[in-house]
Amino acid sequence: MPQTAQEVLQLIQEQDIKIVDLKFIDMPGIWQHCSFYRDLIDESAFDEGVPFDGSSIRGWKAINESDMSMVPDPTTAWIDPFMKEKTLSMICSIKEPRTNEWYSRDPRTIAQKSIDYLISTGIGDTAFIGPEAEFFIFDDVRFDQTQNTGYYYVDSVEGRWNSGKDEKPNLGYKPRYKEGYFPVAPTDTQQDIRTEMLLTMAECGVPIEKHHHEVATGGQNELGFRFDTLVKAADYLMTYKYVIKNVAKKYGKTVTFMPKPLFNDNGSGMHTHQSIWKDGQPLFWGDGYANLSKTALNYIGGLLKHAPALLAITNPTTNSYKRLVPGFEAPVNLAYSQGNRSASIRIPLSGTNPKAKRLEFRCPDATCNPYLAFAAMLCAGLDGIKNEIDPGESLDVDIYDLTPEELAKVPSTPGSLLDALKALEADHEFLLAGGVFTEDFLTTWIEYKIDNEVNPMRLRPHPYEFALYYDC
């Protein structure tokens, strides 16, 4: 893969690439793009950027100040495998063209600022992130909301609910509810599509590792890629989502990263592995609990302290909180453990290798904007290290065996997006440290989420409410 602007321009010439597609992420976390004829991309594009209108991008500019520039990162270049005409793709950060400064509401810029802040503290110089994003592959999806109707419908040939359907013929082998983890074919019908997804990701520069079926029936899956530095990991996750959705479309299927698209089965999360290094050495290995260093334990303390506010960014949808409920392996308990998967922070087994020592924050889901989520988690952890926040005792018992009195002593995640947004409003100083996030961005984020997601959900009747209350 190219590493410099000159190498990208050389690749364009050598492979006779006519179209260059520049991608950037909006505030909620969806890739946007514009395709340019190759003559418009020269060395100046990698410094000054390519102009575009930012007024139609969610949460960004007013129409009277809409001029912006997208600046491609040459290290993100790959040939798009889904385009008929050979197309070079690159991921961009956003600049203010009048000042040539990085745009304070650009999520990728915020992610880079979090690394700059890490370096400025002297604590470390590298943050490694390894996200594990789960998703569902469905064969059909329909949904609508009008003044007098509201419904959704999803279907999968793997769905246990289809065990009695006349499929001419129905061949059975449909994963039972909560028993979809690791069955072989023919129960696992999605081996080939996952393999194509994984190998296509590799073609796009993502360092691939594995793929497998996940716990839920109805086509829940996960692909794995190798951890990397914070910004690069976010770039890889966006490529991951792009590839998975487009490979699924080739097969006539559809993918969702919604945390809870199915009732009464496991939801999809994004367990996020993380560690800090300095001068090539890991900082989380030590002689404390689970071979953690004091730095790592304080990092955990920061995550736990700020978790209610963090979730407004790492779990940013109303649907996120239909996954974060007790049961279904949901990490709703704000505690840490080396084995307890219902704790929000787990310490994975890493043997005696200091370089493998990390922690896994299990709350996030893949509806988040990864640049914002990874940056926010790093800011929370750094706050814990700077202020030597004690994470308390680990929670190594089976949480579901605790008495109500014992469980009441364990803090839990917010019960709704609104609760998380209120927590963020009350607790966000840790995000402002080092200028990573700004008051302007956080105010815009909270207002956007309330106006566009929380309040619209409040105004709409839920179908199940009719079952509960229609005859009252």
- 360 included as an active-site residue: yes
- 58 included as an active-site residue: no
DSSP run (H or E) holding 210: strand 208-213
Termini Cα distance of the chain:
64
DSSP run (H or E) holding 70: strand 67-72
Options 80, 106, 158, 222, the catalytic residue: 222
Quote the strand ranges of 103-175, DSSP E: 126-138, 140-145, 150-155
Rounded to an integer, what is the distance from CA 74 to the centroid of its chain?
23
DSSP, collapsed to helix, strand or coil, labels residue 415 as coil
In the numeric block, the tokens 């490979």 are attached to 247
Are the C-beta atoms of residues 235 and 341 closer than 8 Å to each other? no
- 362 included as an active-site residue: yes
Options 108, 213, 271, 346, the catalytic residue: 271
Nearest-angstrom CA–CA distance, 317 and 162: 29
CA angle 220-265-175, nearest 5°? 55
- 214 included as an active-site residue: yes
Tokens for 171, please give them: 């061949």
Options 58, 98, 341, 458, the catalytic residue: 341
Options 96, 134, 265, 365, the catalytic residue: 134
Burial of 337 (0-12, 13-18, 19+ CB in 10 A): buried
- 203 included as an active-site residue: no
Options 105, 160, 362, 428, the catalytic residue: 362
Q: Which of 396, 145, 438, 210 is nearest to 289 (CA)?
A: 396
Options 73, 132, 179, 390, the catalytic residue: 132
Rg value, the chain, Cα: 23
φ, ψ dihedrals at 345, nearest 5°: -125, 125
CB atoms within 10 A of CB 58: 12
Options 360, 365, 383, 453, the catalytic residue: 360
Options 43, 48, 53, 388, the catalytic residue: 53
- 132 included as an active-site residue: yes
- 447 included as an active-site residue: no
CB atoms within 10 A of CB 375: 30
DSSP, collapsed to helix, strand or coil, labels residue 310 as helix
Options 106, 139, 158, 214, the catalytic residue: 214
- 47 included as an active-site residue: no
Per DSSP, the residues of 421-449 read HHHHHHS-HHHHGGGSS-HHHHHHHHHHH
Are the C-beta atoms of residues 312 and 417 closer than 8 Å to each other? yes
Residues across the chain? 472
**Beta-sheet pairing, 359-361 with 270-278:** antiparallel
**Beta-sheet pairing, 333-337 with 343-346:** parallel
DSSP 451: I
Nearest-angstrom CA–CA distance, 216 and 175: 8
Amino acid code (one letter) for 80: D
Nearest-angstrom CA–CA distance, 222 and 365: 13
Alpha-helical segments (H) within 226-369: 230-250, 294-314, 320-323
Please give the positions annotated as active site: 53, 132, 134, 214, 222, 271, 341, 360, 362
